Amino acid sequence: MDTFRRGSLVFDVHDSGPVDGEPVVLLHGFPQDASSFDRLTPALHSAGLRTLAPDQRGYSPGARPTGRSAYRIREVVDDVLALLDAAGLESAHVVGHDWGGLVAWALAAWHPWRVRTLTVLSVPHPAAMTQALVHSDQALRSSYMAFFQVPAVPEAVLLANGGALLRRSLRQGGLPDDVVDRYVERMREPGALTAALNWYRALPFGSGTPIGTVRVPTLHVWGARDTFLGRAAIEATRGHVEGAYALEVLEDADHWLPELAADRIGELVTAHVRGSSA
């Protein structure tokens, strides 16, 4: 399956690995795409797992609706449900990073029967994030999100001079040049960066829809050098998961776990999946 549809939207998806393997859905963040998992998927395939990694809403050229309300979390969660339906899957293991992690939290909370296990990379539970914004340095770490709410200006700033600022910020996070170049070029496609920023701009539309408690087996992985997401929200996340929960802190890792800690993430995800099947 190279694409799937939801209404008029057409999503690109990387469907690979053993066809009869347990399915693992991989959800990327900003400003990545499904290729962010390219270093992770070989380890999962070697463990007998099938991976489905979509270019999410706004990142697939055929799925870039206009207007920020089209990027509410409920809409993006429904995209993942459409992927599962198109693949003929009642449920799957779900791994999400960055914004994909937020989608994964919501999917597991709202549709637990569709999620066999949950693995969230970097991102705390949204309720824990809200707590940390008040009681820690998280508001400072997240201050860029307020800038992203401004219409048009962030696009102009980030893409000026061939995307120099975006390119520099990704390199500072340790991403290699080839990965940085790929992400920046994708964001330079017509409408791509606006669509990606609309995920942030849609946040006010979801303020009345709490994600709630997660009750599926959950693995949470955080890099201690993450400049965007601090320890307070990570440690508070346990209070929003009932049942099996494990936190793995990678002391030498930054925010970009799928690209820069792929081997360790592969080990952790494989063990988590196998543990749920034992």
Catalytic residues: 98, 200, 255
Radius of gyration of the CA atoms of the chain, in A: 17
Please name which of 6, 4, 31 lies closest in space to residue 15, comparing C-alpha atoms: 4
CA end-to-end distance (rounded Å), the chain: 29
- How far, CA to CA in Å, does 178 sit from each of 117, 224, 254? 32, 25, 18
Identify the three-state secondary structure at position 118: strand
CA triple 209-102-65, angle to 5 deg: 80
The whole-angstrom separation of Cα 254 and Cα 43 is: 21
Strand partners, 119: 95, 219
| Residue 49 φ/ψ, nearest 5 degrees | -100, 145
Strands of the chain, DSSP E: 3-6, 9-16, 22-27, 49-54, 92-97, 115-121, 218-223, 245-250
